[in-house]
Amino acid sequence: MTELINTFSWSISAAEDFAECHRRRYWAKYAMWNGWKEHATELQRTAYRLNKMENRFTLQGNAVEKAVMWALCQKQEGKDVTVDQAYTAAVRPFLNQCWQESRNKKWESNPKKFCCLQEHYYPEYSKQTELDMTTQMIERIKLCISNFIQKVLPRIKEVRKDEEVEITTVDSGRDPESFPLEGFKIYAIPDYAYRKHGQMHIHDWKSGKSKQTHNDQMALYGLWANVKHKVPVGDIHVHLEYLKSGEVQSTKLTQNEFERITQLIHESVSDMAEYLAGGDIQQNAPLPMEDWEMVATLNTCKRCKFYELCKPELE
């Protein structure tokens, strides 16, 4: 069996983690490596297990994505669906399975296979009861589904299956969607993309509030379309779908956006390289853990899935 190599890679989420707390990036990229192996150290095992952890917001986003894609498939087959139908078919089984796996700690036997929620793992830092959390989550998911059916689906209902662009996701069992840039891998995983009349349209479903990094994310998806699928810059359209509010931000990307996101990547990679031996991203050997500074802000640390590993040092 081929030995997996921990090569340098970059993504918007990795850049966000590194910017907020360097130590978090160390745990997520380096300390966890080989933590799935039988002879892994206790630190590797723990970092690997914690790295697989999700929270209710990522769970909510994943549930919404499943629902909207189910509704879109039904529409492509000529079937109209309701919010309750989408929730019952695509969301409820998913939420129930994840919640039960997490609550019953099935992840202890296989953290890659079974869901572990931060709210269950660190219950002392949760500000809501489980009932309040689930009630609020269900309400928001149904609101997002409703806005998708009413406001988004009419815009994309004519897209045929053969016009859709295949996107390899994290849970596909294969390496997620990426493209090469100057010798290293860039991860970029749009929610939905299709080509029509020579144009590529890229959609990303958002179930929460808007953030500045969302625009960076969409520019990155445009770069993915240009590099991997050879789509000219002027033929790429990106659509930020804020399903909670029903708003959409549609943009036709320009060369300026490509230059901006490329510069952002270069600056972020350069900053990360300072924490590698010799600044060598090809070798990708991290400096000792102590050199990766912690943000050491208690409110931030208590929201981090790696808090267990940092807690002794913080205290």
Domain limits of the chain? 20-159+292-314, 161-253
**What pTM did the predictor assign?**
0.93
- Tokens at residue 224, please? 């993915």
- Indicate the average pLDDT of the chain: 94
Neighbours of 275 (CB within 10 A): 19
| Amino acid letter, 200 | M
Q: How confident is the model at residue 183 (pLDDT cuts 50, 70, 90)?
A: confident
Sequence-separated (6 or more) residues with CB below 8 Å from residue 234? 252, 253, 254
Q: Does the domain at residues 161-253 carry the CATH identifier 3.90.320.10?
A: yes
Q: What proportion of the chain, given as a percentage, has pLDDT over 70?
A: 99
- To the nearest 10 degrees (0 to 180), the angle between helices 307-314 and 42-51 is 120
N-term to C-term CA, the chain: 42
Question: Quick check: 1 pLDDT over 70?
Answer: no
Return d(Cα 113, Cα 36) in angstroms, integer. 12
75 contacts: CB under 8 Å, gap ≥ 6: 81, 153, 157
pLDDT at 224: 97
Q: Which two tokens stand for residue 246?
A: 């029903």
Q: Give 126's pLDDT tier (boundaries 50, 70, 90).
A: confident
Q: How are beta strands 199-206 and 178-181 bridged, if at all? A: unpaired
Tens of pLDDT, residue by residue over 247-296, are 999 999 999 999 999 999 999 999 999 999 999 999 999 999 999 999 97
Lowest mean pLDDT among 7-16, 79-88, 96-105, 128-137: 128-137
Q: What is the DSSP secondary-structure string of the chain?
A: -PPP----EE-HHHHHHHHH-HHHHHIIIIITTTTTSTT--HHHHHHHHHHT-B-HHHHHHHHHHHHHHHHHHHHHTT----HHHHIIIIIHHHHHHHHHHHHTTGGGT-TTTS--BHHHHSGGG--S-HHHHHHHHHHHHHHHHHHIIIIIHHHHTT--GGGBPP---GGGSSPPSEEEETTEEEE---SEEEEETTEEEEEEEE-S---HHHHHHHHHHHHHHHHHH---GGGEEEEEEETTTTEEEEEE--HHHHHHHHHHHHHHHHHHHTTBGGG-TTTTPBPPGGGS-----HHHHHTSTTHHHHHHHH-
Q: What percent of the chain has pLDDT over 90?
A: 88
5: phi then psi, degrees, rounded to nearest 5: -110, 135
| Alpha carbon 290 to its chain's center | 27
Residue partners of 141: CB distance under 8 A and separation at least 6 = 60, 63, 64, 67, 87, 91, 207
Average pLDDT over every residue of 192-219: 95
Label residue 144 by pLDDT band (50, 70, 90). Answer: very high
In terms of Cα–Cα distance, which of 153, 160, 150 is closest to 239? 153
Q: Show the CA angle centred on residue 220, arms to residues 219 and 224, nearest 5°.
A: 120
pLDDT tens digit sequence for 41-93: 999 999 999 999 999 999 999 999 999 999 999 999 999 999 999 999 999 99
